[in-house]
Amino acid sequence: MTAWKEYQEQHKDRFLNELLDLLRIPSVSAKSEHKADMLKCADVVKASLLAAGADTVTIYETEGHPIVYGEKIIDPSKPTVLVYGHYDVQPAEPLELWNSPAFEPTIIDGKIFARGSCDDKGQFYMHVKALEILVKTNTLTNNIKFCIEGEEEVGSPNLGKFVSANKELLKADCVLISDTAMLSLDTPSMDVGVRGLSYIEVEVTGPNRDLHSGVYGGAIANPITILAKMIASMHDENNHITIPGFYDDVVNSTDEERALMAKAPFNEQEYKDELGVKELWGEKGYSTMERTGIRPTMELNGIWGGYIGEGAKTVLPSKAFAKISARLVPNQSSETITNLIINYLQKIAPTNVTVKATLHHGGEPYMTPIDSKGYQAAAKAIETTFGKQPIPVRGGGSIPICSLFEKELGIKIIFMGFGLDSDNLHSPNEKYNIKNYYKGIETIPYFHKYFTEMA
């Protein structure tokens, strides 16, 4: 389809500049101070969909941040693709580790450095531009719906209600999501599964106030020491998670699947060098790819307590806190695991302290079948523009709403991600290669074409 390529070539600078403008809005859903930025961002997303050719776009208020819904219906009898994405981004902290300001997108060596460049503004915006190409070249063969939410990074607390209440509006033949990575532009891949999530915050309280560590040290349990012991107890010497029942519902991968995974290109030395570590770490008995794909994990996302400023302060603190999240694999239930973790933390806490553990958010693991029409259409689209069949892989991250869409709408999710694992998602200096951005925009129209043809 030379018309698509021509149109893209002609407008590529604008396609890039529009994304940069979107990245300038600090739409951090986790922080209440960014409420106005979230509203502004939703407005910009709405305007961009209308400009691209959507018939109607509506901003749906929720109890949290709004959801932008748009659609281009050419013929209700034709196949319909529901594009899901999110305009919210992770907090940018720690700010001092960014080489350029997180919300002033900076292009270096063909890469856009900005919070959200890859996750997920850069990726969902490819779909907006693909819509524009299809509409402006009069080549759209199917219906496209967009559901772009503002709470993915905080666990999509309000999307479920919206989806249940709007099943007819969202009715489609598959959900298409670009919010994952591929191995590289040379080795395209598609995720066939994402892990689930249980994200918990724990607060350990010792004495009712901060104390002098000399006067009271040795008499009173130090909540940091107790919290450290609790955390330490969560992995055994083989880095298995020790919480009773944690692995009970895990569906183990077959030897066949593991053999297939072992064939995916993976250079351990390069991986270590790129991360600056001497040794990898993880559950004994599984390869690195398996540990990040088919196995559940438990990570400390944050810890704090006592004096954390410059210099020394001899304090025995009243409280210590940690943010802990588990990644879950198929058949594990987020609710079950959340309860197991919370109960475990409360049970192992000694009577010298009080422990409060609460859920931030969770999400179910999800697997998509590779023989579905959607997966086949995506694989063919990638083959068309990359010249290679994508390798099916398991992603380590989580997109909590997948199981929700499948349950409520009865359709499969297709993960057609164009990011890279090295894009520093959730980290300082998040980036997205302009090449990947353009390649995504080039590939998506083929997905719609093939999906229509296969339907």
Interface residues for a copy of itself in 163-222 (CB under 8 A)? 181, 195, 197, 199, 201, 206-222
Between residue 31 and residue 90, which ones bind a copy of itself under the rule CB under 8 A?
31-32, 90
| Closest-CA residue to 160 (of 394, 397, 334, 342) | 334
Tokens standing for residue 367 = 């697997």
Residue 400 CB, shortest distance to a copy of itself, in Å, is: 11
Binding mask 411-430 for a copy of itself (x = CB under 8 A): ----------x--xxxxxx-
Out of 142, 325, 368, 433, the only residue in the binding site for a copy of itself (CB under 8 A) is 325
User: Is residue 436 a contact residue for a copy of itself (CB under 8 A)?
Assistant: no
Structural contact between residues 223 and 204, judged by C-beta atoms closer than 8 angstroms = yes
Candidate ranges 246-254, 305-313, 364-372, 377-385; the one touching a copy of itself (CB under 8 A): 305-313
Between residue 353 and residue 382, which ones bind a copy of itself under the rule CB under 8 A?
353, 360-361
CA distance 381 to 349: 53
User: Is residue 251 a contact residue for a copy of itself (CB under 8 A)?
Assistant: no
User: Is residue 250 a contact residue for a copy of itself (CB under 8 A)?
Assistant: no
Out of 238, 269, 312, 369, the only residue in the binding site for a copy of itself (CB under 8 A) is 312
Specify the 3-state DSSP secondary structure of 389. coil
Residue 156 CB, shortest distance to a copy of itself, in Å, is: 12
Buried b (16+ CB within 10 A) or exposed e, 186-205: eebbbbbbbbbbbbbbbbbb
Cα separation values, 189 from 131, 183, 262, 388, 406, Å: 23, 6, 14, 9, 22
Out of 235, 258, 356, 373, the only residue in the binding site for a copy of itself (CB under 8 A) is 235
Query: Which C-beta is closer to a copy of itself: that of 201 or that of 406?
Result: 201
Tokens standing for residue 263 = 């064939």
User: Is residue 395 a contact residue for a copy of itself (CB under 8 A)?
Assistant: yes
Residue 361 CB, shortest distance to a copy of itself, in Å, is: 6
Contacts of 332 (CB under 8 A, 6+ apart): 196, 249, 250, 296, 365
Out of 256, 278, 369, 371, the only residue in the binding site for a copy of itself (CB under 8 A) is 278
CA distance 123 to 440: 8
CA distance 160 to 157: 7
